[in-house]
Amino acid sequence: MNAQVLTILGATGTIGVNTLDVVARHPGRFSIFALTGATQTEKLFQQCLQFRPRYAVMTEQAAADELHQKLTAAKCGTEVLAGRQALVDVATAPEVTTLMAAIVGAAGLPATLAAAKAGKRILLANKETLVVSGQLFMDAIHESGAALLPIDSEHSAIYQSLPMGFNGDLDKAGVNTIWLTASGGPFRTWSLEQMAGVTPEQAVAHPNWVMGRKISVDSASMMNKGLEVIEARWLFNAQADQIRVLVHPQSIIHSMVEYRDGSVMAQLGTPDMRTPIAYALGFPERIEAGVSPLNLLGSSLQFEQPDFKRFPCLQLAFDALRTGGYAPAVLNAANEVAVDAFLDGKCGFGDIPGAIRHALERLPDASPLTLEDLLDADHRARTLAREFLLSREVA
């Protein structure tokens, strides 16, 4: 078997680190073409020393210069590039067979879309690619013949619970409902009054998963699940009414598919992102991931309906999916701005859905034609969200 040649967008984040952990367990099966990062120069430097990629990319020139100096001093031959275009270049290079798309936020969208158009095997951990540009991205996948494998534990679970060779026709596959499970995050049992005063430190303390700060806040607000609902619509060609959310605090059942005959197929496992990463890297073969076996002895599995009043971000996501057009892109952009402000201590946790609602109500309902249209809507939504948060600050 020829080695898969990997570019990892977002190598210094949680998904990137776990991907490299799995890669390191399979010498000779994978080779690293490029690793990319944003600001964590020291971490990317250490990764370059271990995996010797041909290229390393930092999105900021100053960080790229610092990394270049470190690698030169260490006599490491990895070439350092900088900027957004460099992300596109290392994602679409002819040598690359597989792209791990793990940059958090809309910043990873252009490179991931370019890789889809280039027919690469894409391991998709970047939610925003499908949330912002679902139709454009899936059109590119189908036109180029690119392979697409989801990395989110929930979407990986659905993928594994669907028939092998599923072609996007849920009705033909006999599927009634896709069930996305949600942990409920750290505030699952908190009242609205309690949540009004939460701190960033409380919001990022997820009870089950080790994730980055932004995704942890999204989990706490249940926006993470809302974004996954929109992703599921595109990944599995599902309508909004075919996707339901079920709170499952133990995070053992990662998602389920309910069939017409009454069968429910589920994927279970220890909450560890290396499982879906290894599944995608090795597909269709199952490979070692370094994950502890699941022990169900003495376990109790609990299920609850999501509370849309206490977690309005989830309702906003369903609403944006049903509206279509620019709405999911606007939802995502406004959420990114609000979460950044919350993490910086510039707004309250309850201001996050307010900023999103403000942007959604003020941007016109239309259907985007190009990536540029979507990025323009993204920019305008960010401006509206900042205006809302500034007004709250002044008030």
Nearest to 312 by CA among 260, 256, 350: 350
The reported pLDDT for the residue numbered 208 is: 66
* Ramachandran assignment for 171, one of left (phi > 0), alpha (psi -120 to 50 degrees), beta (any other): alpha
- Helix/strand/coil for 270: coil
pLDDT attached to residue 1: 61
361 φ/ψ angles, rounded to the nearest 5 degrees: -75, -15
Integer CA distances (angstroms), 70 to 9, 98, 249, in order = 20, 27, 44
Each domain of the chain, given as residue ranges in start order, spans 4-150, 152-321, 324-395
pTM: 0.92
The residue assigned the tokens 């252009």 is 110
The CATH class given to the 324-395 domain equals: mainly alpha
Residue 395: its pLDDT value, please? Answer: 46
Q: Does domain 4-150 have CATH number 3.40.50.720?
A: yes
| Per-residue confidence (pLDDT) for residue 365, from 0 to 100 | 72
CA distances from 119 to 146, 160, 178, 315 (A): 4, 23, 28, 35
Q: How distant, in Å, are the alpha carbons of 76, 252, 254, 297 from that of 293?
A: 38, 12, 15, 12
Q: Amino acid identity of 386?
A: R
Q: Which two tokens stand for residue 82?
A: 């900088």
Q: Mean pLDDT for each 10-residue chunk of the chain (395 residues)?
A: 91 96 96 96 98 96 96 97 96 98 86 96 92 93 97 97 94 98 91 89 77 85 96 97 96 97 97 96 97 92 95 97 93 96 94 97 80 90 96 66
